Structure 1
Amino acid sequence: MKAPYKALLETLRDTLPAERLIDDPLRTLAYGTDASFYRLIPQLVVRPANEDELSQVLAECRDRRLPVTFRAAGTSLSGQAVTDSVLIQLGRGWRGHEILDGGRAIRLQPGVIGARANQLLAPHGRKIGPDPASINSCMVGGIAANNASGMCCGTAQNSYRTVRDMRVILADGTRLDTADPSSREAFRRSHADLVEGLEELAAETRANAALAEKIRHKYRLKNTTGYALNSLVDFDDGIEILKHLMIGSEGTLGFISTITYETVVDEPEKAAALAFFPDMAATCRATIALKRAPVSAVELMDRAALRSVADEPGMPETLGTLPEGAAALLVDVRGNDEGDLAARLEAVQTTLADIETLEPVAFTRDPATYALYWKIRKGLFPAVGAVREVGTTVIIEDVAFPIERLDEGVLALTDIFHRHGYHDAILFGHALEGNLHFVFPQGFEKPGEVERYQALMDEVARLVGVEYGGSLKAEHGTGRNMAPYVELEWGPEAYALMWRIKALFDPENLLNPEVILSRNPTLHLENLKPLPSADPIVDKCIECGFCEHVCPSKDLTLTPRQRIVIAREMARLEALGESLDSEEAERLQRLRKDYRYAGDETCAVDGLCATQCPVGINTGELIRDIRHERLAHAAGLAARVGRHFSAVTRSARGVLRLAGVGRATLGERGLAGVSRTVTRLSGQRVPQWVPSVPKAAPVRVLQRPATGRGERRDKVVYLPSCATRVFGASHGDSETRSIMEVVLILLERAGFEIIVPTQSDRLCCGMAFHSKGQFDESARKAGELNHELLVASENGRYPIVSDTSPCVLHLQSRLDERLSVQEPVGFAHDHLLPRLRVTPLDERVAVHVTCSSTHMGLGERMVALARACARDVVVPAEITCCGFAGDKGLVTPELNASALQGLAEQVAGCDAGYSNSRTCEIGLAQHGGIPYRSILSLLERASQPL
């Protein structure tokens, strides 16, 4: 670390905790990587928790003339969130929110994910205006700072148009709350030069008729190139100009600590059609016609774009048979009610009636088909990333043409790509706004590739920005990639105006320098990110960050994207072999050492990342492979455990009984202290006891004779998991029965004859071994179970139900195809509910949808089952994987604690919580402050025989 940064670090240590001041090689690289194709590694990453801390950091950086960059989710595509100086990263302290005016407005801190804002507004039938494709991952800070728009937002509902107020922290640490009259007046006095300077610029701009008209023309299109000069012609009050200049300023003018949006109506009735046209000219004619129709979105996809997703699961067969030159429009129509939607659909069909299509335009209202159409559209960018050559990156840029020249622009762009050898480029975009994204793979390692890319971008910039008078950046922000072309698009006069704005806000050029404005004509060709091969499992990753919000370790150590970033860097350094210098060799050793905890030990390997990844990458598979190599020496021990599994589970129950004695003798606090000591002295080998660890399970219940009502009954095989054979009811819980007891009662009540596999105490699905990288023993245990289940079910004649969801997920691809093992929620919802008389309990209950339930698409059925059994059901927001991960909650308890931060507040007032994994329920009870049980217990309590 350079001397000025060391001095800054020492000063900040006086007031900020060490865990929020990050300077090690692993985390500075991991936290400093965004979705763009640029790499800069920060000297220091700081995580201020509030405005006071952030103001202090800015003041200290300003005293030392150290540049600062702000970072939210890092889904930015143009290099706005990378730096080689000080990176200010937003953490949990920036996720506050407040609904205003009955949902007509919402106040948000910058760390709130866009989709979470819409989730908060959903009960009011509202949403925020911006709707970028990354809304499930990107944060409000980035949405506002980039003036991100999206599919339906257009230019009327973006952040610039829907911002009501904001709190801003400027480079000197001063704060302005535009909603507070006293703050505005105080700011006018303290920063008269800034306010008056902006008002003078506005007056000067409006007086320049040609410039003012040029600005108005540019913002008839989507435009995020440079600063929001439209604020100078839209407003004459300096505070209002400042507020609107902050939108799209990419952290170069100040920090938005809170933004209040005017919300928009979220029309509930939706329909969509995928319309195919013979050529781009017809497609563009349809787009122009639809501009006047009552549509919510019109998304254009060229033939290459459609081809890129044609082989994905579930895609319409039509995609593979379209003629060359064809194109498609995804037309989305919405309404407030059935009649409203029907009228709009009729109007749209009339609009398209005279335009040639390859097949009749048919709108669907089926949710699954509707979702599929949008999946096609949203999967285009990553589809290119998935098929690119290893070592190359993916370039995505977004331009906007005047819509009346859209067809010309598409053909001209396509011609440019082909002339420069980019035959894999695809075009798609928000057609109503003339906004096109072009995506193509790009390598920078081979000779001539940088020059080829520069020639392409030079020609594209001239075509769009000069010849067509369009926007070089329509919605992704200027960033580093287009900063060298801002003057080309806007001209010298407007460009000089932007530099004057920058000087008024940030005269020392310390806020995110080289972003938006740069004097460096080759900035976009420097600091290019390497993407070396690390492992076939993750080589397709384009580091978009869509996976991060569901990762249980995101606030503790690393996210899936960051695990991949570090794996790639280690692979890059290892590939250098003997040519590594001493500094690089030391860095590699440090990365390996730190990755053991940050990358491996704190990964829950839950696979939720794959559910969000556009190309289905499960980073947990990479970590399991790492564990397999690291723990190869333990294969013999794993085999012994597997062969003596019955003894192991008996021993585990014995330990639980012993812990119960210790609890009664020493009390919870005393036993916890003893446990911590033992865990520490064992080098973390002995799991740590936590108060929510339950009693031992009474396995003898499996041997009790089944009782029925005398009539002939359907048979079902009951597979009790090893977790439910070990863990019984929780201490102090009013539910004193084990899950096994509950399941037996429920199945008998529903009229099933129950078959329990013989010697069930030695059976295991193998997941516990698999998660630790012991693949051979995992496969052996799964095979052993497969044999017993074939016997018990008479070769699949009878269905099999398990009481633990993760086991079922693990078994799905590992058992004989004749066997059907059903997950507890799915079986209860589909087969038990119809056989029972259910009376909802007068209780408020919480539901935790486990990772495995999410993977199997059972989340909605789980909530529906709970709602059938209780009057009020709470599903905590932003709680995804609990992080208990089998035994991680005992051996790495900080992962469980981090993943469940905020749970207790959300479930306060609930009578109990329900899930479908006994180990998950231990961690949930520990951090939720209420008992957590199997959801089958809730169904049993609410039901009677028919």
Structure 2
Amino acid sequence: MATSDAVGRTADLARALRSTLRGEVRFGAAERAVYSQDASNYRQVPRGVVKPADADDVRAAVALCREYGVPVVPRGAGTSIGGQATGPGAVVLDFRRHLNRVLAVDPGTRTARVEPGAVLDDLQAAARPYGLRFGPDPSTHSRCTLGGMIGNNACGAHSVAWGRTSDHLHSLDLLLADGTELTVGGPLTPAGRDRLAARTGRAGELHRALQALAADHLALLRRAMPALPRRGSGYALDALLPEHGHDLARALAGSEGSCAVLLGATVGLVDAPAARALVVAGYPDEAAAADALPDLLPLGPLTAEGMAADLLAALAAAGRRPAVLDRLPDGACWLFLETGGADTAEAADRARTLAAAVRRTPRATVTVLDDPGEQRRLWAVREAAAGIVTRLPDPAVPGGVPAWPGWEDSAVPVERLGDYLRALRGLLARHGLRGVPFGHFGEGCVHLRLDFPLAERPWVFREFMEEAADLAVAHGGSLSGEHGDGQARSELLSRMYPPEVLALFGRFKRIWDPENLLNPGVLVDPRPLDADLRVAGRFRALPLALPYERDGGSLLNAVHRCVGVAKCVDTASGVMCPSYMATGEERHSTRGRARLLAEMLRGELVTDGWRSAEVREALDLCLGCKGCASECPVQVDLATYKAEFLHQHYRWRPRPRSHLALGWLPLWLRGAALAPGLFNVLARHRGAAAVLRRAAGIDRRRSLPALPPETFGRWFRRYRAAHPEPVGATPVLLWPDSMADLLDPAPARAAVLALERLGFAVRLPAGRVCCGLTLVSTGQLSLARWVMRRSLARLPPDLPVVGLEPSCTATLREEWPRLIGEHRLPARVRTFAELLDDHGVDLPRLGDTALTQVHCHQHAVLGTDADRRVAERLGLANTVLDSGCCGLAGSFGMERGHYEVSVAAAERVLLPAVRAAAPDTLLLADGLSCRTQINDLAPGHRPLHLAEVVLRALGIN
């Protein structure tokens, strides 16, 4: 009966919220699933999710939750590592969706007004024209919010120069759980404190209680709160001391949403150096690097970041080793010491001084980088570390083993950091754990993810965490240096603080939130650190069609790759994730979809297994672009998981018409090619075209393609009859993909003419072939295997195979090994550009201006280095768009229900760039989807395949 009452009250609360708020109210299983995790080890299913449209929505939502006795958890980007951005049975307030503006920048006072969901990079962009910036800069700067930064008191790489978020808070606009609103901030004089204490009502009561808390315990607060620049554990009660100005904004920084809801903030800005240089110092190990810091920090570097060789090993194991790593000096651990100045000369001079100091340390090496591009590329490696080290290389485990947070954030006095790191390595060895230390060594803060056996032996997690807490405290340190305590470390605060201080923490929380409605279970009355582990529990063993070779044959292991680093909700880059960028919905992000799949395998929230409507809806807008497979730090591959889901979901069930029409498109095109003129007449006839679209599940706003009068195969037979194969030329096999053969043969014809002029002899397979991509993308995996095996039998065993269509070429390289175990062919498959680049062919210089749209599968699977070198040899002034997927993505943009997302993806970068291009600009787009999207949505701009551009350079018409 109690359960029924609870369900009824939840339904009543949802109805009340929907009838009152302007923003979104989501209490369904899908939304609860994707918000059940942050970037921590924990899974806590919320009661529902509210995305307030404005501050009035926040006020109304908090009031209703208080009326119904339901906890509230404020949330920004959901990248919290301690487990403080979700809560069991709570209503999550997602501020990133709407309350995300930088309201104003005042260069005179060097301040900015922000809403809680404002993203840090947006603030930096708004401040940049004034030569200003916000000082703290965590590695998640492209998606973390100012509200989240205040909640965790975030720091980042430049904290040795510019401190923590709490050092830049001028004022905070707060909403208490009881509806009280007040603004706090800045040090107060005694007279100022008296004025606040004299206020009437709840605000005055609160100020009097806080002042009494400090006044009654001055000696305790002065004695028991460690004086660390990176003390991130517990409440900052020492900010209430008279000598610190009774600064309530500083006291609330790091309170993890447990005391008040932030409605807005005024933050301070700092001068941004006009020029920078980077000193990279190499040492034998991380402890030696730490030992060197006390002599280097007095020279005033802007950063003092540590990065050990273990990190590079994890990067290499993931298949990514940027060339810039060759610039690292010898060593097994490096310090990144950045200098700044009013100009390049000043920054370089400071760098030389630092480098000279480094050289005075025995066995230290040093490199100075003054090229901004090299600096950015090295910093990108450091910033990606939080994602890279979530998988640790293991020769016995393909794809590596997962590494978990928990003890990722400890901090000690910098002069004791070397000893602490040595002792920490010893503790790891005693527990048989591995990890990669890195982080903000200049302030004694160490990031460390560990291969805890959370699912098999969860007690190891507790044992290590307790001993590690004691170790940090023995070195005068803090359990957390910037990520907060959350569920991971709140229980351990008793090992850092005496009982009297813990009692004050409880008193502080009750002053602000006497009903314990705001983020309960963190800091005060904590939930156990080993409860609610997201990998714990029973998961379904559902049948699988794909091998998941990097994940031990387990889809569960594959989706658990997602640890919430949230690069997929970064909208600054064009690659990942196009549908999230279009909708802004968390369930359409890579991590949202991965979490839904994990919940499907768990079977509690998402109960229908492969028949799940929630998972189908979330995956329906996945374009299959594979951007996540290359851009996600842990290579979550939603295109593959989607193919698996569609295969299982529609097994022995009727499929959508679009799967049969567009999944079998090569077959239908072959039939239509028997009478291309008739098909084109029907496609141009309004009524007939409408019938064809409806029958095929194609959106009515999409034009039907015109078939060429002659297929490529027929043209090639005519060509070869008139032009016998060149004697002595290098033979290559051109892959005549179905689209090039039947729909757009111009690139294939151009490739034949260009390659034979350049000394190759082009051959075709002995019969019709198809890569099977359209079947894979629609989840028709059994039929795809049959098509692949049939096509493989028609290929000679030794010739290079040249692919023209990036998606087909990527399928030959990646999907054929996965689906039919063909591991020899991928090494022979080359793109058109790779073939020219491999053979170093001489190319005439065109000297034209070019604009290139890279096909998403080429970016994710094939790479573009060869294309860049060929474009240079052609003398092209080439701009490569950071646009990601064009939005058509094979059949995706053609299907009903996808048009708006498809167009939105194209309108982000691609179409504005095409429309703005000069008339004589060459538009390069090797992908048929990309060319079709441009022709459909920006008519008048004819995009070309690289083969057509090379043919033009050779002067062949």
**TM-score of the superposition, structure 2-length normalised?**
0.74
Q: Equivalent of 1:40, from 44, 53, 66? A: 44
Residues 1:353 and 2:372 aligned together: no
Q: Aligned equivalents of 2:123 and 2:740: distance in 1? A: 38
Q: Gaps (5+ residues) in structure 2?
A: 1-5, 186-191, 326-330, 542-552, 570-575, 817-824, 918-922
Alignment correspondent of 1:329: 334
Alignment correspondent of 1:251: 257
Residues 1:395 and 2:421 aligned together: no
- Report how far residue 41 of structure 1 moved: 1.0
Deviations 1:593-620 (A, max 9, x none): 2255135433333222222333333232
Instruction: Give 1:269-668 correspondences, 5 Å limit.
Output: 269-271=276-278, 273=280, 275-277=282-284, 280=287, 282-300=288-306, 313=319, 328-336=333-341, 338-357=344-363, 360-363=365-368, 366=374, 370=378, 374=382, 377-378=385-386, 381-384=389-392, 395-419=406-430, 421-444=431-454, 449-450=458-459, 452-465=460-473, 467-486=474-493, 488-492=495-499, 494-516=501-523, 518-520=524-526, 523-531=528-536, 536=554, 539=557, 541-546=560-565, 548-549=568-569, 550-554=576-580, 555-556=584-585, 557-573=587-603, 588-589=607-608, 592-598=611-617, 600-630=619-649, 641=664, 644=667, 646-648=669-671, 650=673, 657=680, 660-663=683-686
Q: Aligned equivalents of 1:698 and 1:190: distance in 2? A: 81
Alignment correspondent of 1:736: none
SS in 1 for 2:617: helix
Change (3 A) 1:207 1:368: closer
Question: What residue identity is the alignment partner of 2:807?
Answer: P
- Report how far residue 650 of structure 1 moved: 3.2
Q: Provide the identity percentage.
A: 23
SS in 2 for 1:87: strand
Q: Aligned equivalents of 2:844 and 2:227: distance in 1? A: 58
Deviations 1:227-251 (A, max 9, x none): 343543599888xx44444532322
Residues 1:76 and 2:89 aligned together: no
Q: Aligned equivalents of 1:468 and 1:244: distance in 2? A: 25
Q: Aligned equivalents of 2:736 and 2:427: distance in 1? A: 63
Q: Equivalent of 1:934, from 938, 943, 949? A: 943
Q: Aligned equivalents of 2:514 and 2:833: distance in 1? A: 62
Question: What residue identity is the alignment partner of 1:810?
Answer: T
Q: Aligned equivalents of 2:208 and 2:880: distance in 1? A: 50
Q: Equivalent of 1:223, from 212, 227, 231? A: 231
Contact 1:77–1:476 (CA<8 Å) still a contact in 2? yes
Deviations 1:353-373 (A, max 9, x none): 33232x744455656983686
Q: Aligned equivalents of 1:759 and 1:457: distance in 2? A: 61
- Report how far residue 79 of structure 1 moved: 0.9
Instruction: Give 1:893-904 correspondences, 5 Å limit.
Output: 893-894=897-898, 897=901, 900=904, 903=907
Q: Equivalent of 1:96, from 93, 98, 101? A: 101
- Report how far residue 587 of structure 1 moved: 5.9
Change (3 A) 1:765 1:123: farther
Instruction: Give 1:508-907 correspondences, 5 Å limit.
Output: 508-516=515-523, 518-520=524-526, 523-531=528-536, 536=554, 539=557, 541-546=560-565, 548-549=568-569, 550-554=576-580, 555-556=584-585, 557-573=587-603, 588-589=607-608, 592-598=611-617, 600-630=619-649, 641=664, 644=667, 646-648=669-671, 650=673, 657=680, 660-663=683-686, 678=694, 686-693=696-703, 695-700=705-710, 703=715, 722-723=738-739, 740=746, 744=750, 764-775=770-781, 778=784, 795-796=799-800, 800=802, 802=804, 804-812=805-813, 815=825, 817-818=827-828, 820-822=830-832, 835-838=845-848, 850=856, 852-853=858-859, 855-858=861-864, 880-881=884-885, 883-891=887-895, 893-894=897-898, 897=901, 900=904, 903=907
Deviations 1:696-732 (A, max 9, x none): 1435496499999xxx9x999987754466667xxxx
Q: Aligned equivalents of 2:335 and 2:912: distance in 1? A: 44
- Report how far residue 67 of structure 1 moved: 0.6
SS in 2 for 1:292: helix
- Report how far residue 63 of structure 1 moved: 1.6
Question: What residue identity is the alignment partner of 1:548?
Answer: C
SS in 1 for 2:447: strand
Deviations 1:338-380 (A, max 9, x none): 43443233222322233232x7444556569836863795566
Q: Aligned equivalents of 1:189 and 1:832: distance in 2? A: 84
Q: Aligned equivalents of 1:54 and 1:473: distance in 2? A: 30
- Report how far residue 333 of structure 1 moved: 2.9
- Report how far residue 6 of structure 1 moved: 1.5
SS in 2 for 1:482: helix
SS in 1 for 2:563: coil
Contact 2:301–2:339 (CA<8 Å) still a contact in 1? yes
**TM-score of the superposition, structure 1-length normalised?**
0.75
Q: Gaps (5+ residues) in structure 1?
A: 320-325, 574-583, 680-685, 729-738
Q: Equivalent of 2:151, from 145, 151, 154? A: 145
Contact 1:221–1:401 (CA<8 Å) still a contact in 2? no
Contact 2:76–2:147 (CA<8 Å) still a contact in 1? yes
SS in 2 for 1:46: strand
SS in 2 for 1:626: helix
Question: What residue identity is the alignment partner of 1:503?
Answer: R
- Report how far residue 148 of structure 1 moved: 2.0
Q: Aligned equivalents of 2:858 and 2:18: distance in 1? A: 42
Change (3 A) 1:14 1:284: closer
Q: Equivalent of 2:61, from 57, 63, 71? A: 57
Contact 2:403–2:451 (CA<8 Å) still a contact in 1? yes
- The CA RMSD over aligned residues, in Å, is 5.5
Contact 1:912–1:931 (CA<8 Å) still a contact in 2? no
SS in 2 for 1:696: coil
Change (3 A) 1:118 1:621: farther
Change (3 A) 1:384 1:837: closer
Residues 1:28 and 2:35 aligned together: no
